[in-house]
Structure 1
Amino acid sequence: MTQCRSDHRYEKDTEVDDLEWEDHVMATVAGEVRRRRKELRWSAQDLADRCEEIGYPIPRNVIANMESGRRAVLPLVEVMVLAKALHMSPIGLLYPVGYVAEVRQLPYEDPRPTWDALQWFTGNSPAEGATDYMLDHFLVHDLELRSALAAVESEDYERWKVRTAANRVQREAAERALARYADQAAEAKRELLHHREAIREGGGTPPHLPSQLADIDPPDTDPTEENDL
């Protein structure tokens, strides 16, 4: 048995198998839409108005039928629009961490912690038999990008301390720190370049680099040309 908030259409100690898997997913999304709408103190019409402002109308009666469980389908595009209208991310509607303790990730599977299911959905945890290596490279690229930016910013700060040191002791300390951060920045850039090359070799286009790291790519690499290939 599992316990979920009544906003998500489950009472305490409800047998998970009482609902088909697709109904379980829809009930979770509908419950989170209802919970968030109430949190914002909006009516169903308020939410419908905001969907229309976004450019993809979802009528009030459709929202009401979804929340009450009378609707048989819930298109992905509506999840995206509802999330935008409710000032949320779409993943927060599918996996409402903190509000639903467990969800059924796939049919015929036992419930698992909502946070674990969210990590699987976003590719942040290993998936059995997964071969989406491009996603793996992009995830690591993001981590290395943050590391490289932090190292470069620290290097710039220590360089400024060297220039503005009031005495020899301060300058020498700043120079030692500058050398450490310069090594870290160089290593982070090498790792970042490795994953950018792997992305290209896999037929993909690496993410845009901020100006502080523009020197990582070879001079003859033009991102606009990659996008045209």
Structure 2
Amino acid sequence: MTQTDWPSKVTARVADALRARRKELGLSAQDVTDACAALGYPIPRTVIANLESGRRASVDLAEFLVLAEVLGVPPITMLFPLGTAPAIEMLPGREVSMWDAVAWVTGELWEAPESPAQTLLNMFREHGILVMVASRSRQMGEEKRREAALARDPEHRAKFLRMVAEFDRIHAQDIQALRDWRARMREQEVVPPALPDEFAYLESSESAQ
């Protein structure tokens, strides 16, 4: 295999994913073009056709990202199609398991050496977990509140209210953990990510500090 074979294989994988997903969604090449334009980055129909036919040997990063959004797929799955082969040429002449290739891109490959970039990625990943946990405890508390409001039997209502109190306690702990983590990020001169609407009040309190 020559060194020039690898980039063409990368492009071919993107093209194959584009064709398969487009057909799965019942979209024409023009439909994809129109959707790209609606996102603010027009990709001519001829480009779509040439990619799928193999006449176009490359795809730029902007096209790749917009196409993934239009097709409704994670971009990584267009580069490394999980479930289609046990291994793949991740870099020229370097074949690894398909999952290791995905994990390399997402920063989850355990063999990867620790670096500032890896540390930063882990920090944001932990933030995402804390947001998810806090959101879940809030949802569970609200669910039990609804059940308590609908309960006719006093004993059942009391049981649900006890559960509400417990979930409220857990949620308060989850929120404090999220606050602490965001404070830690700022102490390291890292700008925390925007929070979902349900926790927007935390950003307001942070800006007041």
TM-score, normalised with respect to structure 1: 0.70
CA distance in structure 2 between the aligned counterparts of 1:163 and 1:50, rounded to whole angstroms: 45
Deviation at residue 148 of structure 1 after TM alignment: 0.9
Q: Decide whether the 8 Å contact of 1:37 with 1:86 is kept in 2.
A: yes
Give 3-state SS (helix, strand or coil) of 1:63's partner. Answer: helix
Query: How big is each residue's C-alpha offset from its partner over 1:135-188, in whole Å with a ceiling of 9 and x where there is no partner?
Result: 212211111111112212323444566677656533542344234323321332
Identity of aligned residues (%): 34
For the pair 1:34 / 2:19, whether they are aligned, the reply is: yes
Q: 1:129 aligns with which of 95, 113, 117?
A: 113
Once the two structures are TM-superposed, the CA of residue 20 in structure 1 deviates from its matched residue by: 3.1
Write the distance in 2 (CA, Å) between the matches of 1:212 and 1:58.
Answer: 36
Decide which moves more: 158-167 or 82-91: 158-167
How far apart, CA to CA, are the structure 2 residues paired with 1:138 and 1:55? 28
Q: Deviation of residue 128 (structure 1)? A: 0.7
Amino acid at match of 1:169: E
**Could you tell me how far apart the structure 1 residues matched to 2:28 and 2:197 are?**
45
Give the secondary structure class of the aligned counterpart of 1:111.
strand
Shift of 1:194: 2.6
User: What letter is aligned with 1:59?
Assistant: P
SS at match of 1:209: coil
**Conservation of the 8 A alpha-carbon contact between 1:152 and 1:212:** no
Letter in 1 for 2:207: D
Cα deviations across residues 58-86 of structure 1 (Å, max 9, x unaligned)? 33333333233333332101112222333
5+ residue gaps in structure 1? 1-16
2 CA distance for matches of 1:159 and 1:51?
44
| Letter of the structure 1 residue corresponding to residue 65 of structure 2 | M
Q: 1:122 & 1:106 partners in 2: Cα distance?
A: 15
Rounded Cα–Cα distance in structure 1 between residues aligned with 2:147 and 2:28: 56
Instruction: Provide the aligned C-alpha RMSD in A.
Output: 3.3
Cα distance, 1:87 vs. partner?
3.6
Q: Does the 8 Å CA contact 1:104/1:110 hold for their aligned counterparts? A: yes
Contact 1:134 1:199 in 2 (8 A): no
CA contact (8 A) 1:199 1:205 kept: yes
Retained in 1: the 8 A contact 2:68–2:75?
Answer: yes
Question: Aligned-pair distance for 1:196?
Answer: 0.9
Query: Retained in 1: the 8 A contact 2:87–2:95?
Result: no
Separation in 1 of the partners of 2:17 and 2:143?
45
Q: What is the rounded CA distance, in whole Å, between the counterparts of 1:62 and 1:211 in structure 2?
A: 38
Which of 208, 214, 224 aligns to 2:194? It is 208
Matches within 5 A, 1:1-229: 17=1, 20-99=5-84, 101-113=86-98, 115-126=99-110, 128-131=112-115, 132=117, 133-159=119-145, 166=152, 169-210=155-196, 212-213=198-199, 216=202, 219=205, 221-222=206-207
Greater helix proportion: 2
Q: Which amino acid aligns with 2:120?
A: M
What SS does structure 2 have at the residue aligned with 1:104? strand
How many residues end up aligned between the 2 structures?
A: 206
TM-score normalized by the length of structure 2: 0.76
